[in-house]
Amino acid sequence: MEFGWNADDLEFRADLNEFLSEELSGRWHGSTAVLGSPENADYSRRFCGLLADRGWLTPHWPKEHGGVEASPWRLSILSEELWSRGEPRGPQYMNVNWIGPSLMAYGTSEQMARYLPPISRGEVIWCQGFSESEAGSDLASLRTNAVLDGSEYIVNGSKLWTSYADLADHCYLLVRTGDGRQEGISVLLIDMDRPGIEVRKISGVVGEHSFNEVLISDLRVPVANRLGPENGGWKVVREALSYERVGAPRWARASRVLNETMQWALENGRAPSPDVLESVDIASEACEAARLLYYRVIDERAQGKPPTPNGNVARVAMVQAERAVAEACLAIQGAEVMRYQGLANQQIRKSLAAGVAAGTYEIQLNLISRLLLRLPKG
Ligand SMILES: Cc1cc2nc3c(=O)[nH]c(=O)nc-3n(C[C@H](O)[C@H](O)[C@H](O)COP(=O)(O)OP(=O)(O)OC[C@H]3O[C@@H](n4cnc5c(N)ncnc54)[C@H](O)[C@@H]3O)c2cc1C
Q: What is the DSSP string of 204-228?
A: -TTSS--EEEEEEEEEEEEGGGEES
Alpha-carbon distance of 120 to 66, in angstroms, equals 6
What value does the mean pLDDT take over residues 249-262? Answer: 93
Angle at 131 between CA 127 and CA 136, to 5 degrees: 145
Q: What is the DSSP string of 43-90?
A: HHHHHHHHHHHTT-SSTTS-GGGT-----HHHHHHHHHHHHHTT-TTT
Q: Which atom of ligand 1 is nearest to the CA of 206?
A: 1
What value does the mean pLDDT take over residues 159-165? Answer: 94
Burial 195-232 (b: 16+ CB within 10 A, else e): eebebeeeebebbbbbbbbbebeebebeeebbbbebbb
Task: Determine the distance separating the centroid of ligand 1 and the alpha carbon of 138, expressed in angstroms.
Answer: 9
Mutate to test the pocket of ligand 1, among 93, 99, 137, 172 (most ligand atoms within 8 A of CB): 137
Mutate to test the pocket of ligand 1, among 208, 209, 356 (most ligand atoms within 8 A of CB): 356
In one-letter notation, the amino acid at residue 93 is Y
Task: Determine the distance separating the centroid of ligand 1 and the alpha carbon of 360, expressed in angstroms.
Answer: 5
Q: Are 216 and 197 in contact (CB under 8 A)?
A: yes
Walk me through the domains of the chain, giving residue ranges and CATH numbers.
Answer: 7-124 (1.10.540.10), 127-233 (2.40.110.10), 246-372 (1.20.140.10)
Higher pLDDT, 31 or 105: 105
Task: Determine the distance separating the centroid of ligand 1 and the alpha carbon of 320, expressed in angstroms.
Answer: 17
Task: Determine the distance separating the centroid of ligand 1 and the alpha carbon of 137, expressed in angstroms.
Answer: 5
Cα 121 off chain centre by = 19
The closest alpha carbon to 254, from 266, 244, 262, 242, belongs to: 262
pLDDT of residue 272: 87
pLDDT of residue 341: 63
pLDDT of residue 207: 58
pLDDT of residue 16: 97
What value does the mean pLDDT take over residues 57-74? Answer: 93
Q: Are 169 and 191 in contact (CB under 8 A)?
A: yes
Instruction: Provide, rounded to the nearest whole percent, the portion of the chain with pLDDT above 70.
Output: 94
Name, in order, each residue with C-beta under 8 angstroms of 148's C-beta and a sequence gap of 6 or more: 177, 223
Q: Which of the four pLDDT bands, split at 50, 70 and 90, describes residue 32? A: low
Q: Which of the four pLDDT bands, split at 50, 70 and 90, describes residue 336? A: confident
Q: Helix or strand or coil: residue 146?
A: strand
Task: Determine the distance separating the centroid of ligand 1 and the alpha carbon of 243, expressed in angstroms.
Answer: 17
Indicate the helix (H) or strand (E) that contains 35: none
Task: Determine the distance separating the centroid of ligand 1 and the alpha carbon of 149, expressed in angstroms.
Answer: 32
271 pLDDT exceeds 90?
Answer: no
pLDDT of residue 364: 94
The closest alpha carbon to 51, from 59, 42, 61, 63, belongs to: 59
Alpha-carbon distance of 374 to 94, in angstroms, equals 30
283 pLDDT exceeds 80?
Answer: yes
Pairing of strands 170-176, 126-129: parallel
pLDDT of residue 205: 62
Alpha-carbon distance of 316 to 290, in angstroms, equals 8
Q: Which residues' Cβ are closer than 6 Å to ligand 1?
A: 127-131, 136-137, 161-163, 206, 209, 353, 356-357, 359-360, 362-363, 366
Q: Are 359 and 318 in contact (CB under 8 A)?
A: no
Nearest CA to ligand 1 atom 29: 137
pLDDT of residue 138: 95
204 pLDDT exceeds 80?
Answer: no
